Structure 1
């Protein structure tokens, strides 16, 4: 490889022998993330080759001359190459989550990796996760941000990627105002409307295209997109064929792809030209996405709403009393009070849309797969929904959450067994720390192994889909642990949790041996914990409950290509982990009389005040 041989020659002679083996091992990683470096007859301009070579040489030199952590007791870890550490190990597989699971089993609940200049700490137990994120929360409140992914937030200025500090706290406070459980009850009409729309579209598909399978992923993405877009921007999409919708979803998926591939630029401090060459293609993709989505669709809609509000105010109308406002309108009206700029509002909307659409739809994707794979589970959920319909003469709604523990258990079990973010978004330490007797350096990348944490919490039949594990009758505790709040109810201030199980559902975690409650929201680590707990967790859980409960009242799901046979539940690793097998389903209508109830529910929803811009 021309770049790699050049690097060795650029290393100072006294260090060259040590660097030689590292440079050779680095070839595997470079061949994966920098394909042009592997070509013997590369057509890449000489300046690019020299830039990468020089950058690597400088980075390797720094690593050889400086090893501040060497004399301190880091957590255990696998043998590493000099200088480049475990980069070749990480490059040896595309299933990074499985690699991490294997290393956790070998090295324990906390271990370390060395990726170039960066120390990576992997935590795989709830006890250590709680210690770091709750007891030492401030230290682990930083965000490890790749150079390319940070571009989506204008250089990590958005809520998701910004460093821990005053700006992050400011954006967090603003976001929380519409994402608390109580505030989310104001969104019930949107969630109910979109759940009805999806079910009606499934039934219409059966009427018109009975023999064609349903790609459930497309339906779920449209469902979650419409909820987020309606609340954020006052926009919905009538169909997944809409060009604006397809462009938006393609952009989200592209960001998740390029953001999920680690680059040398994130692990070596090689200099500006070095970074420029390594990130050129990904930067170009990100710039196109920002032009089309961030500054086009999203900012364009913000400008439209700004003009509408200015017109209302100029004519003496108060928009707050005239219609139900979307989030952008609320922020525009409180810009001075909240000390926000239009760009701040844009970045908040980017985070809402990019983080809120794909992850929730992916979780629902797994729920649908397991409902198809376990007919007995589906029948029990249908019976639970039928009781609501029979008792109240309507479809399930949010006030029924307490009466539908099994439906909630299905959702929890799907998030436990196949978390869509198996490794989450990495944290970064903002100062040194000591955990379990081990030294944790400042600026370490910290990964929370969600699968490992779940396995430790629920070791019995951990690879089996068992919703009943969540029900109080099958739980080892007396039932006084925290449970998910129903319909926006509270509990301990700021916790979002009830302290008593009221609906027959299991406590989501048993107290530990000392009797202390474990502050793990909903018994699932998918949403993180501590200062960077996902602010959209309550919305996501409500989105999933209302759709699953109503689907079970109306249809029976099954595999379209192989009825009665289960789908593979193997996951494809990425920032969002989806099923490897495409989930094509049939949605058989259970009772034609339910259509009249659907229409009645739709009419009730339409009577409630909603003002949306619908993209057909």
Structure 2
């Protein structure tokens, strides 16, 4: 048989083989569609513009706009921030799969100019760094230094700071009559807890020069980390604009003239203070951290720790003002403990106050303190629930709509229900290590990037809240009830609008 005849004889075989392969492909493809695996498009909001994408559609409160998009499009959405792709998730179960199950691919950070390259000296510290060996060392050091056994050393001092806070709130409220906005006093209390543990020092009042200096440094750092000072990272065309505007000079001046001197001085003085502190702990236990690593770790702890917990307590006070019946029930539970023990409860005795604990958790769910947490970065394509999250995407959990997710919180998710967590009283630290369906809220983050200072935060907020509610009744000031339906965009944090309340002595 010649080659022509061989070709004619094999043609039907080739055609049949090709047809079989094509048919197999179509069957395989149809099975994928049938099984709903990695073939669903992530929904994209329609309100995008050329080049800038959705940046100018977000408005003054991006979390609210993204929440609206979730209501329209579902639990996962994709939008463009200039040249960047962002993926937002408001389903706790889906977020768990993305940031915990796929944590090795989703725990990196964006390498933006200010927070990564400048503020964190190229990704050092525990907040803005990639999850590399240096990050693991730094995180392990901090986790050991603020472990429950170490925090126990500061309990009496934290209780004394809480007592001073309530004394100040009551005295100031009594003098003004019209009511006060307590945020700065709460910030002083929280910062004193953080700086006591970190540096072994506290500040006597909100008028203290060093307290003001640190507060301004923290506030300015959050401001400079916003989009306004990082436009070139989203829209490269702004590189020229930023150059002539002197953005880099502004960022450098902040670090050289404010951040570095403030924390450098605190770290240096901490070596010579009496009593324990985190600076001495890290030195004495031989962690071998560089000067830059130490600087970033302490600015991370002071900034993040002070801002979030102050905001939480400020929201909680506003919520309590709206619910006098809840205040009375909390007060009765605390009074019952005092009657039996002749003192306030310790954090280790928190389970004896189940309604207090449930109400505190519900405040954090009802009004989450952050809009999106700290964004994660996908370093590879991720397939989850039929979606492909592309490599290089920025991943955010939308805290506002996530904490109102009706599938995860089926009982009146849009309402404040103080009894919601009566059967989930374990600490948020413990809950975060278990199954996602057993978690209470998600303000502390996810997986390997979860906040390492959860225990410290829970201790200081519990002690401050119990001290306050054991002595005070929170009433509206002259401007009426606090507005808890609106919020201010604080960058990372979601702040309550300024309000005035009165702290009256409930023992009178």
The TM-score range, normalised by the shorter chain, is 0.7 to 0.9
1:163 to 121, 127, 130: 130
Partner of 2:308: 359
2:254 to 264, 272, 289: 289
Secondary structure of 1:131's aligned partner? helix
Question: 1:521–1:140: structure 2 CA closer, same or farther, 3 Å change rule?
Answer: farther
Distance 2:445 2:107 in 1: 11
Deviation at 1:81, TM superposition (A): 4.2
Distance 2:265 2:482 in 1: 45
Question: 1:498–1:82: structure 2 CA closer, same or farther, 3 Å change rule?
Answer: closer
Partner of 2:79: 113
Question: 1:324–1:522: structure 2 CA closer, same or farther, 3 Å change rule?
Answer: farther
Partner of 2:446: 529
Secondary structure of 1:383's aligned partner? helix
- Cα displacement string for residues 77-117 of structure 1 (whole angstroms, at most 9, x for unaligned residues): 12344544323433xx1111111011111111111112232
Distance 2:241 2:158 in 1: 44
* Structure ranking higher on relative contact order (CA contacts 8 Å, 6+ apart): 2
Partner of 2:3: none
Distance 2:431 2:102 in 1: 21
Distance 2:81 2:198 in 1: 38
- Cα displacement string for residues 512-560 of structure 1 (whole angstroms, at most 9, x for unaligned residues): xxxxx62467510111110100111121111111111121111111122
Distance 2:262 2:50 in 1: 47
Give yes or no for the alignment of 1:587 onto 2:503.
yes
**Number of aligned pairs?**
465
Question: 1:278–1:354: structure 2 CA closer, same or farther, 3 Å change rule?
Answer: farther
Question: 1:518–1:77: structure 2 CA closer, same or farther, 3 Å change rule?
Answer: same
2:43 to 71, 76, 99: 76
Secondary structure of 1:577's aligned partner? strand
Distance 1:288 1:213 in 2: 38
Partner of 1:304: 269
Let me know the Cα RMSD of the aligned residues: 2.6
Distance 2:507 2:68 in 1: 47
- Cα displacement string for residues 19-42 of structure 1 (whole angstroms, at most 9, x for unaligned residues): xxxxxxxxxxxxxxxxxxxxxxxx
- Cα displacement string for residues 128-157 of structure 1 (whole angstroms, at most 9, x for unaligned residues): 111112211111101125322333222332
Partner of 2:33: none
Partner of 2:460: 543
Tell me, yes or no, if the aligned pair for 1:224 and 1:357 is still in contact at 8 Å. Answer: yes
Deviation at 1:371, TM superposition (A): 0.9
TM-score (norm 1): 0.71
- Counting only pairs closer than 5 Å after superposition, residues 335-374 of structure 1 correspond to structure 2 as 337-374=286-323
Partner of 1:11: none
Q: Structure 2: state its 5+ residue gaps.
A: 1-38
Secondary structure of 1:556's aligned partner? strand
Question: 1:258–1:301: structure 2 CA closer, same or farther, 3 Å change rule?
Answer: closer
Partner of 1:32: none
Partner of 2:426: 483
Distance 2:474 2:218 in 1: 28
Q: Structure 1: state its 5+ residue gaps.
A: 1-71, 310-322, 473-480, 486-494, 500-516, 593-616
Give yes or no for the alignment of 1:471 onto 2:436.
no
Distance 1:126 1:211 in 2: 44
- Cα displacement string for residues 374-411 of structure 1 (whole angstroms, at most 9, x for unaligned residues): 11111111111111111111123223301111111221
Tell me, yes or no, if the aligned pair for 2:371 and 2:398 is still in contact at 8 Å. Answer: yes
1:144 to 97, 102, 110: 110
Partner of 1:572: 488
Deviation at 1:343, TM superposition (A): 2.5
Distance 2:240 2:139 in 1: 34
Partner of 2:379: 430
- Cα displacement string for residues 563-603 of structure 1 (whole angstroms, at most 9, x for unaligned residues): 6x4544311123211112x12221111226xxxxxxxxxxx
Deviation at 1:127, TM superposition (A): 1.3
Deviation at 1:373, TM superposition (A): 1.1
Moved more, 193-202 or 530-539: 193-202
Question: 1:210–1:119: structure 2 CA closer, same or farther, 3 Å change rule?
Answer: closer
Deviation at 1:229, TM superposition (A): 0.8
- Counting only pairs closer than 5 Å after superposition, residues 179-578 of structure 1 correspond to structure 2 as 179-205=146-172, 209=175, 211=177, 213-261=179-227, 263-269=230-236, 274=240, 276-277=242-243, 280-281=246-247, 283-306=248-271, 308=272, 324-334=275-285, 337-456=286-405, 457-472=408-423, 483-484=426-427, 496-497=430-431, 518-519=435-436, 522-562=439-479, 565-574=481-490, 575-578=492-495
Distance 1:299 1:236 in 2: 16
Moved more, 97-106 or 245-254: 245-254
Question: 1:527–1:361: structure 2 CA closer, same or farther, 3 Å change rule?
Answer: same
Secondary structure of 2:168's aligned partner? helix
Distance 2:140 2:318 in 1: 36
Distance 1:214 1:291 in 2: 36
Secondary structure of 1:251's aligned partner? helix
Tell me, yes or no, if the aligned pair for 2:217 and 2:259 is still in contact at 8 Å. Answer: no
Question: 1:376–1:409: structure 2 CA closer, same or farther, 3 Å change rule?
Answer: same
Tell me, yes or no, if the aligned pair for 1:482 and 1:498 is still in contact at 8 Å. Answer: no
Secondary structure of 1:158's aligned partner? coil
Secondary structure of 1:164's aligned partner? coil
